[in-house]
Structure 1
Amino acid sequence: MARPNIVFIVADDLGFADLGCYGGRDAAFGPVSPVLDGLAAAGLRFTQGYANSPVCSPTRFALMTARYQYRLRGAAEEPINSRSKGSPTLGLPPEHPTLPSLLKESGYRTALVGKWHLGYPPAFSPLLSGYDEFFGPMSGGVDYFSHCSNNGTHDLYLGDEEKQEEGYLTDLLSRRAVDFIDRMAGQDAPFFLSLHYTAPHWPWETRDDAGLAREVRDNLFHLHGGNIHTYRRMIHHMDEGIGWVMDALRCHGMAQDTLVVFTSDNGGERFSDNWPLVGGKMDLTEGGIRVPWIAHWPAVIAAGAVTAQQCMTMDWSATLLDAAGVAAHPAYPLDGISLLPVLKAPARPFARTLHWRMNHRGQRALRDGRWKYLRVDGHDYLFDLEADERERANHAGRDPQRLARMRDDWEAWSTTMPPIPEDATVSLGYGASDMPQR
């Protein structure tokens, strides 16, 4: 089989149940995510998939490297913010092999359309880390119309140069992705397209809210703004754009042999639907890290499949390399594990232990089978997620031996990772834990 084209789509701050195919409710205008629901129905949906972090940029470090983000200094910032501008250390080192750089070296054409959030030029940029092309913002969040970041500076780039372009950002990204696919049609080389939306990340603006741009520019966090109706419409705009991308693949006869993967960088924020999970962004409770994962690849994946395979972001990066027949750099072995066998046989999940570490509130977590060990603010919890996905029934006192065993496992794993630097900072987002008492 020829090497597939790859489209890796990442939403920003999307909740676990925001999509219809994950139980989300229709909006007043109708289904919120008909295109993504269709991709899930025609492909594979994961019910136990996770992000590498409950915040933006650390997950993106893992996505880019297929390794635990804790191995890189920049990922200790939760997340990278404007203080990182001009820093030679707070970003993705250009010398580190990445998913796009390894694919590029093997003959793929590579493009990032959308959010970077892995350090600022001149020390860091997508073009220094394996992408042939880049169009999007460098920072974590921008106004959808003025394209200004939270310090008021314009942040939309074409390559390493600022690009002034009018329009609603979600639509600009979707159209740029379609343009890349159009240009790749008929080429001998396969392509890798990272389509990293800022939607539905704040500020809360739909395609019809251009009049809010002046107000939002003075308060990009939009603390007083937004509502569930605006939020759902933002997801719908993204879903429409993904429909344009799929139409382009079909138009050029490439949909059959293109692996399309969709997910979110972390759990949802204040308007998200995470049911039945609790918590959200910034939390290692399930609502902060369990996210949608959809894979569509008609040549390989049977339609209508669902799997309970446990996985996280870096596993998908390893999967894409495996699907392309590309090996890891020998000096940078992968922490991610390829899910290619699961794509081919979803009913045969394999055991996978997952670890997290979070500077904010001293959080830690370990998922092993049905059990989860969690620490928040110095308190230890033990949950049976098969019976209690809402993490309400704490088994720590009832099963102290299991708790001790899982805590020891987490401690042993943590010794293999660099310690959190004393100068690492936390940039608080929305989403507060709703933890049970011990």
Structure 2
Amino acid sequence: MMFRFLLCFLLGGVCFAAQPNIVLIVSDDQGYPDLGCIGSKPLVTPNLDRLAAEGVRGTSFYVTWPACTPSRGSILTGRYPQRNGLYDMVRNDLVNYGHRYDAEEYAVSPEMTLGLDVREVTVGEMLRKAGYATGCVGKWDMGQARRFLPLQRGFDFFYGHGNNGIDYYTHERYGVASLFRGNVRTEEDRGTYVTEVFRREALYFLNEHAGRKPFFLYLAFNAPHGASSFGEGTKEGEKKLSEGVQAPEKYVAMYRGKVKSEKLARYCGAVTCMDEAIGAVMEAVEKAGQRENTLFVFLSDNGGSGNGGNEPLRGHKSTMWEGGLRVPFIVRWPGGKVPAGKVTDEFMTSLELVPTLLAAAGAQGPEGVKLDGFNLLPVLRGEVKSPRREMFWQRRGDKAARVENWKWVASENGGGLYDLSTDSGEKKDLSGEKPEVVKMVRERFAAWRAEMEASEARGPFRDY
């Protein structure tokens, strides 16, 4: 035990005296430009802005899928969705047509029977093995059957929901109660805005462990995702009417007259409410005397949707354009471990998160498991350029790749070849002018697909 607290390990020339606490925060459908410090929208996010001012903000950071389930699976495993097996959504599609599930029907539906393959190892398991107290608060989205829930996947503590989304107040998903405390469904907080619930539970976990044992908190908000409830007038068998994002009135009122619609005001209000919850977590860490020894990481799980646009990027959630895949990213680790006030355009992805957290903790990855990323800390400190040269995406028939600064898209929403060094908005298709580049990128994509197919098979979707 003493070794863990007196541990001194070398990372890129910097020596640390103890395992740091780690707070990994993931927002839901928060678009690339949706931070106050960026300045392109009237968003109020003083706490995220402070994290950015006291750390490093990335402007070319990508997730592995343009929607939540596969993206979050990669965040926690460090593996491409096509390698860890969770490469599509775990959700009940009939809700798109106003269908309400009864308990028996829901129990055998995809949302209850599918999840992250139990052979996959999460970063919670890796860090718990290294001596960390591990907590998961918020949106899990990797299966609700007991074998898939966080307490069986490396976490000591869990309060949240296992599916894609919920109503912010009833905590139901289209009529089904969805919050869990540990392994048991609960309705104890029905009626309370769920961001406030997640704030409370995160603070409880921190206060139990801060200063006593290194802790890892995975704080995964459902904000500012649209509410998983039927809009007024939705009829069974017809396309559902969207409820949109829900937010307390005091936050929505801040944006009326500043944005073009009530729905957009609710989106912005949900972001600001989430920002206040993040600020409360930051304050709790500081009150516990753990500021210098706590690594904060923040990102969104995919691009924005219903957020008024992701300009200067093209596209939105569910698309292979930059607006669906490139997300806000912040890292703060005081005391010189990560510089303050730095903005970097280095090519980075969520596949780097697990190797980075393991390096910070002086922990080892699981033996025999292929991780698809690398330790970001030397890159964030400006000591080296990012070693990432390529990244690949596939969502059913939609495909995309980035090789160096070339971005190739082939999807039902259009496609082409784009030079991101001069055209981050993907406005000028160069495929006609650069057929040799298209050929090269397509060959790299095919090689990646072959590697994914050759890896050990994982469910729930792969045929094996």
TM-score norm. by structure 2 comes to: 0.82
Question: Is 1:42 matched with 2:78?
Answer: no
What is the Cα deviation at residue 165 of structure 1? Answer: 1.2
Aligned to 2:423, what secondary structure does the other structure show?
coil
Matches of 1:176 and 1:377, distance apart in 2:
42
Whichever residue aligns with residue 84 of structure 1, its letter is P
> How has the CA–CA distance of structure 1 residues 336 and 162 changed in structure 2, closer, same or farther, with 3 Å as cutoff?
same
In 2, the alpha carbon distance for the partners of 1:46 and 1:358 equals 25
Task: Confirm or deny that 1:370 pairs with 2:405.
Answer: yes
Contact 1:52–1:62 (Cα < 8 Å) also in 2 = yes
Q: Deviations over 1:166-219 (max 9, x none)?
A: 4110111012111111111231x21000000000001299xxxxxx99999996
User: Would the alpha carbon gap of residues 3 and 132 (structure 1) be closer, same or farther in structure 2, given more than 3 Å must change?
Assistant: same
- For 1:333-352, list aligned pairs within 5 A: 333-345=370-382, 348-352=385-389
**Residues 341-350 or 247-256, more deviating:** 341-350
Q: Say if 1:142 and 1:220, in contact at 8 Å, map to a contact too.
A: no
**2: CA distance between counterparts of 1:86 and 1:137?**
12
What is the aligned partner in structure 1 of residue 202 from structure 2? Answer: 177
Q: Deviations over 1:256-305 (max 9, x none)?
A: 11010000000011224311011111111000000000001112111111
Equivalent position of 1:92 in the other structure? 116
8 Å CA contact 1:19–1:37 kept in 2: the answer is yes
- Name the amino acid aligned to 2:398: Q
CA RMSD in angstroms, aligned pairs only:
2.7
> Quick check: 1:142 aligned with 2:166?
yes
> Contact 1:46 / 1:293 at 8 angstroms: preserved in 2?
yes
- Uncovered stretches (5+) of structure 2, i.e. residues with no partner: 1-15, 93-105, 247-261
Count the aligned residue pairs: 408
Deviations 1:208-257 (A, max 9, x none): xxxx9999999684269961111101000000000000000110111111
Counterpart residue number, 2:342: 305
Contact 2:165 2:228 in 1 (8 A): no
Matched, 1:400 2:426: no
Counterpart amino acid of 2:110? S
3-state SS of the aligned residue for 1:355?
A: strand
The AA in structure 2 aligned to 1:111 is: G
Q: Please state whether the residue corresponding to 1:415 is helix, strand or coil.
A: helix
Which residue number in structure 2 is paired with residue 257 of structure 1?
Answer: 293
> How does 1:271-420 map onto structure 2 within 5 Å?
271-299=307-335, 300-345=337-382, 348-359=385-396, 362-377=397-412, 380-418=415-453
Note if contact 1:143-1:220 (Cα within 8 Å) is conserved in structure 2: no
Residue number in structure 1 paired with 2:216: 192
Indicate if the aligned counterparts of 1:76 and 1:421 stay in contact, CA closer than 8 A. Answer: no
Question: How far does residue 421 in structure 1 lie from its aligned partner after superposition?
Answer: 11
1:149 and 1:220 map into 2 onto residues whose CA distance is: 14
| Alpha carbons 1:57, 1:80 under 8 Å: kept | no
Could you tell me whether the CA contact under 8 Å between 1:311 and 1:354 is conserved in 2?
no
When structure 1 is superposed on structure 2, of 152-161 and 115-124 the one drifting more is 115-124
Report the residue type matching 1:181 in the other structure. L
Residue 129 (structure 2) aligned to one of 99, 105, 116: 105
Supply the distance in 2 between the matched residues of 1:86 and 1:37 (Cα, whole angstroms). Answer: 38
Q: Is the 8 A contact 2:351 2:372 kept in 1?
A: yes
Distance 2:90 2:424 in 1: 27
Amino acid across the alignment from 1:91: G
Q: 2:72 aligns with which of 43, 56, 60?
A: 60
Q: Give distance in 2, aligned partners of 1:274 and 1:303.
A: 26
SS at match of 1:227: helix
Q: Give, as a single letter, the amino acid of the residue that structure 1 aligns with 2:343.
A: V
Distance 1:286 1:377 in 2: 15
One-letter identity of the residue aligned with 1:200: P
Measure the CA separation in 2 of the matches of 1:381 and 1:162: 46
SS of 2:48's equivalent in the other structure is helix
Identity fraction in percent: 36
Could you tell me which residue of structure 1 aligns to residue 88 of structure 2? 77
In structure 2, what is the equivalent of residue 8 of structure 1? 24
- Residue 429 of structure 1 aligns with which residue? none
Q: Find the counterpart in structure 1 of residue 184 from structure 2.
A: 161
SS in 2 for 1:110: strand
Distance apart, 1:338 and its partner CA:
1.4
Q: What is the DSSP-based 3-state SS (H/G/I as helix, E as strand, rest coil) of the residue aligned with 1:175?
A: helix
Q: 1:267 aligns with which of 299, 303, 313?
A: 303
Compared CA separation, residues 246 and 215, structure 1 to 2 (3 A): farther
For residue 266 of structure 1, what is the amino acid of its counterpart? N
Contact 1:308 1:349 in 2 (8 A): no
Alpha-carbon distance in structure 2 between the residues aligned to 1:315 and 1:287: 20
Aligned mates of 1:224, 1:320 — CA distance in 2: 32
- Is the contact between residue 80 and residue 117 of structure 1 (CA under 8 Å) also seen in structure 2? no
> 2:159–2:181: 8 Å Cα contact kept in structure 1?
yes
Report the CA distance between 1:363 and its aligned residue. Answer: 1.3
SS in structure 1 at match of 2:148: coil
Structure 2 matches for 1:209-220, cutoff 5 A? none
Distance 1:220 1:323, change over 3 A: farther
Task: State the alpha-carbon separation in 2 of the partners of residues 204 and 79 from structure 1.
Answer: 14
Shift of 1:325: 1.3
In structure 1, the residue matched to 2:38 is 22
Partner SS for 2:227: coil
Measure how far apart 1:153 and its partner are. Answer: 1.1
Partners of 1:143 and 1:224 in 2: CA distance: 9
Query: Could you tell me how far apart the structure 2 residues matched to 1:418 and 1:301 are?
Result: 37
- Residue 95 of structure 1 and its aligned partner are, at CA, apart by 3.2
- 1:423, distance to aligned residue in structure 2 (A): 10
Give the C-alpha shift of residue 379 in structure 1: 6.0
